[in-house]
Structure 1
Amino acid sequence: MSTEIERAPFASTARMLIEGVAEGPLLWSDTALSFWGGVDPDTGIVIDQAHPLHGKCLKGAILTIPGGRGSCTGSAVLMQLILAGTAPAGMVFCQSEEILTLGVIVAEEMYARSLPIAVITPSAFADLEGVARLHIGNGLVHEPGATSPAIPVRPAKHSSSVALTASDLALLSEEAPKATRTAMRVVRRMADLLGAEKLIDVAQVHVDGCIYTGPASLDFAEKLADWGGRVVVPTSLNAISVDQAHWREQGTDPVLSTAAGALADAYVRMGARPTFTCAPYQLDSAPAPGEDIAWAESNAVVYANSVLGARTMKYPDFLDICIALTGRAPHAGCHLTENRKARVVVDVEKMDGRDDSFWPLLGYRIGTLAPNAIPVVTGLEDARPSADDLKAFGAAFATTSAAPMFHIVGVTPEAASLAEATGGADLPTVGVTRRDLANDWHHFNPTTGDPIDLVAFGNPHFSFDECNALADLLAGRKRNRDVTVTITVSRATHAKVIEAGIAGELEAFGATFVRDACWCTVMQPIVPPKARTILTNSGKYAHYGPGLSGKQVRFASLADCAAAAMTGKAPGGLPLWLV
């Protein structure tokens, strides 16, 4: 006689972030997923090689993951999938999720296309592992045929509870340009989703939606521009997908380059500044402490909140320009002091002799330990990290965590003490050891001493100081003829390194510059088609690079990357500080 107990069909109530009905095969993972760099926007195939769903196709499935993580561009990728017919049939999360949800909101408002998104409890989420097929609808998530009258059906969608001023209502009226009305509807819907009681003014916006993710991203921006869209606050633009001035000589795909350039032009037509950088904190217009801003681009959000002390949510692509067109943002998230406090303590073992590779490795590790919670880091009170160290830390942290900021006791402005960062709360503590970081180094470098075809610098964009440090390492030397060395920078930084003579020194070595684009967006042949292995000092690119480029990507310090540019070989083993 069998003693196996038959499992009851799964059924659970749900909070519907997006209403609708869908059914399909279940794709379940307990690991969050960044759609940008993690999902091919044309096919819907998961390209993040480190994700458990790697190689799976999302089309027509019920994607069930804890939530999103990483890049703010996930909203743009999802909208492209929706319009291309390669999106999931529906999605189920176990935590609040704004980036992917915003992609569906915009698809509804602009194109009348949608898919349902449901949030269930973590325990119900865990029970879904092994389920073959799932149905979403009417406030329920269940296996087909498992509905039960004992499970209450969620009431109909309620109206917005966000208090609007007379000026807000004017932005929704027929007197406002169509672009403004549409943008304001999106802002109000997101504010309602976040539980915001009101909207606030912002001092500036940084738009990440200018990255070309496919025809949908271009059509969206051109529609807003054609509908009379005009930014009403100072607005900077993120790195785009092409070096606008030099793509022809660089030999990038003319069709994609033209489309990417047209997308950038649409945002400039709306009054945004052509800054084209993923590191807007390097610009002279960087915000002041306590200033409410609306920045997208995950690493920039983390840096603005954590290092500059400005206040921004992790705004999804498309919501950024909507806020720029209205000047209004939800009073939620990190705009509120109580939401900026740490929720977990991370104690770091003392590691003497460390080099600059310490910071991206540590950021990557802490992101995995705090995938959704703001961490406060102890053990680095005397570390004295540079702005570039914190940039590298924050960018790597933002690839593995959905949290919008971090604190480092004695380093970041809202963490003069542990008590200040935590608000006095008694929090759980986790540790990071030298062995942990050695394991992460080996994760990025499963083999050592590999021949290197490309050394990639500048993800996020290289700063003036990083260009200068690299020039010092390479002074009077020549690159290996079999290695391409490329540095991505902003227009502003490029002008400064030219004026200082640093650009000439690097070009004499054999390095080339790419402006406007970043390693998350560059096209072939900037990444040489025949290249097999890329070396980078960026934890962010070491994570996203394999999926985005189709190449092997290895990670090393700035000095080891410089050495590889001359020898043509990746480091032969762990850096000394990790041995």
Structure 2
Amino acid sequence: MHLTDAEKAMLDGAKGPAHRKAMELLVRYGEALGAERLVETGSVAGTWSVANPIVRDYAARGMDAVFSEFNLDSDEVVEVPPMETLACQLIGGLDRRRPDVMGIAPGIAALNEAGERHFGARGVAMHATCTPYQVGVVPVLGEHLAWMESSAVVYANAVCGARTNTEGRESTGAAALTRRIPYWGLHLPENRAGTHLVQVEVDVPPEMLDWGLLGYWVGEAVQDAIPVVEGRVAGRPSLIHLKHFGAAAASSGGVEMYHIPGTTPEAPDRDAALRGRPPVATLRYGAAERAWAHAALNGSARDRAVDFVMLGCPHNSVEQVLRVVRALEGRRISASSALWVFAPRALAEVAEASGHGDAIRAAGGQLMSDTCPAISRILPKGAKVVATDSAKQAHYLPAIAGVQCWFGSVEECVDAAVTGHWNGRAPC
């Protein structure tokens, strides 16, 4: 792999042991991938969290030991220097404001807080969300990134037109110090062409549920390819719809990028999305495919008595939190159920200032941030049947937590929290 003089100097230790270890990692990584060189990046979204049970054992030896082992893949402990990029902490394992709601021991919460302060002082912005693009970390067209988290990666590539592969904790840690990441995969323009044409033959209204269903079927159909979606898509999809579409497609498949001609920035039309190449296959999404997606997302559910409702994966916008508040108006959560509504830390503050948190708590629910059940592996004690508006959570929670899961609209989920019973129905 070709290195510039500046990169060779970092590899030789000119900027200190941490940069040397970071460059050693990136060279190993790049050579394994077949990358010919590194590319500069100024935006990293990764994790520096110490709340993970495995990481906690290293934290007893100090934060330098945590960073060396988990962010640089280094047995040698090196001192953590300041980050050299815009470095964003992604979603973590607990809600720092409400650890008691999650049943987190005070010592674990204190350790998490110490980790945030340590790495925050070294330049990591503690956004603690899977949706950094909602809280100011907004990449621009053509910008090279080093991002983790499947729903964030697909949004950055498809909606922003930035360039990133789905990275890991080690490669993002190294990138935050060196401003470098291997130049391969979706960093290369020729690898960003659409591969499969998806013709949508039923109306997809501007609803999260419908975009989640479409995304879930598309991901299953194309796996890790790049779909080009066109047809009966009503109006122009919003951030919320594209967020849920991408998260669903990245869950049922491995979609890291998609094109919607006339909507996403690299696809003014179908030909541009495909870069002049014929599609590998043309797929059709109709009533049968939509029904399959709905049945698959509800495939684990048998019991209609719901004891936990989770809303906000990917993390909710303030607009989505308000939708929950309006659905709860004049109602109260059942004594047999629990409602957790998740938003990014920064937007949860806005929601609190707007009175939304008080409204949710008055109804018996909780406004949460920083994490989600699939990441934390924590649900209310005794929860066995879950309802959610998230295709991603519906896909992962049955396997992760051993629960049944219903998937439906925000209003259907709120109704389940209020009545303690699932009354949702498949879309027509």
Distance in 1 between residues matched to 2:171 and 2:32, nearest whole Å: 13
Cα deviation, residue 544, structure 1 = 0.8
Matching of residue 430 in structure 1 with residue 283 in structure 2: yes
Partner of 2:307: 453
TM-score norm. by structure 1 comes to 0.67
- Which protein has greater RCO, CA pairs closer than 8 Å, 6+ apart? 2
Distance in 1 between residues matched to 2:110 and 2:17, nearest whole Å: 27
Deviations 1:273-306 (A, max 9, x none): 1111110010123112222221111100000110
Distance 1:338 1:353, change over 3 A: closer
Distance in 2 between residues matched to 1:358 and 1:184, nearest whole Å: 44
Q: Which amino acid aligns with 1:567?
A: T
Distance in 2 between residues matched to 1:234 and 1:339, nearest whole Å: 26
TM-score norm. by structure 2 comes to 0.90
Deviations 1:475-517 (A, max 9, x none): 2222222210101222110111122222222222222022211
Deviations 1:256-288 (A, max 9, x none): 555655554554354211111110010123112
Distance in 2 between residues matched to 1:212 and 1:364, nearest whole Å: 30
Deviations 1:534-559 (A, max 9, x none): 10000000011112222111111112
Matches within 5 A, 1:358-437: 358-427=210-279, 428-437=281-290
Cα deviation, residue 380, structure 1 = 4.1
Secondary structure at the counterpart of residue 520 of structure 1: helix
Matching of residue 233 in structure 1 with residue 85 in structure 2: yes
Matching of residue 535 in structure 1 with residue 380 in structure 2: no
Distance in 2 between residues matched to 1:165 and 1:529, nearest whole Å: 54
Q: Which one of the candidate residues 322, 347, 350 is aligned to 1:496? A: 350
Gaps in structure 2 of 5+ consecutive residues: 59-64
Secondary structure at the counterpart of residue 283 of structure 2: strand
**Structure (1/2) with the larger helix percentage:** 2
Deviations 1:13-37 (A, max 9, x none): xxxxxxxxxxxxxxxxxxxxxxxxx
Q: How many residues align?
A: 413
Gaps in structure 1 of 5+ consecutive residues: 1-161
Q: Which amino acid aligns with 1:221?
A: V
Distance in 2 between residues matched to 1:514 and 1:370, nearest whole Å: 34
Matching of residue 304 in structure 1 with residue 156 in structure 2: yes
CA radius of gyration, larger in: 1
Matching of residue 506 in structure 1 with residue 360 in structure 2: yes
Q: Which amino acid aligns with 2:360?
A: L
Deviations 1:188-216 (A, max 9, x none): 22222233222221121101463755425
Distance in 1 between residues matched to 2:182 and 2:57, nearest whole Å: 26
Matches within 5 A, 1:193-208: 193-208=32-47
Distance 1:218 1:185, change over 3 A: farther
Matching of residue 210 in structure 1 with residue 55 in structure 2: no
Distance 1:209 1:549, change over 3 A: farther
Partner of 2:374: 520
Q: Which amino acid aligns with 2:396?
A: Y
Matches within 5 A, 1:534-553: 534-553=386-405
Deviations 1:521-579 (A, max 9, x none): 2354xx1221210100000000111122221111111121122122211135313xxx3
Distance in 2 between residues matched to 1:233 and 1:341, nearest whole Å: 28
Distance in 1 between residues matched to 2:102 and 2:255, nearest whole Å: 37
Partner of 2:142: 290
Distance 1:547 1:419, change over 3 A: same
Q: Which amino acid aligns with 1:344?
A: H
Cα deviation, residue 336, structure 1 = 1.8
Distance 1:372 1:353, change over 3 A: closer
Q: Is the 8 A contact 1:459 1:519 kept in 2?
A: no
Distance 1:518 1:264, change over 3 A: farther
Partner of 1:280: 132
Distance in 1 between residues matched to 2:347 and 2:211, nearest whole Å: 22
Matching of residue 562 in structure 1 with residue 399 in structure 2: no
Q: Which amino acid aligns with 1:424?
A: G
Partner of 2:66: 221
Distance in 1 between residues matched to 2:166 and 2:232, nearest whole Å: 26
Distance in 1 between residues matched to 2:78 and 2:367, nearest whole Å: 34
Partner of 1:463: 317
Deviations 1:66-103 (A, max 9, x none): xxxxxxxxxxxxxxxxxxxxxxxxxxxxxxxxxxxxxx
Q: Is the 8 A contact 1:239 1:278 kept in 2?
A: yes
Matches within 5 A, 1:3-18: none
Secondary structure at the counterpart of residue 561 of structure 1: helix
**Structure 1 vs Structure 2: percent identity of aligned residues?**
31
Partner of 2:14: 175
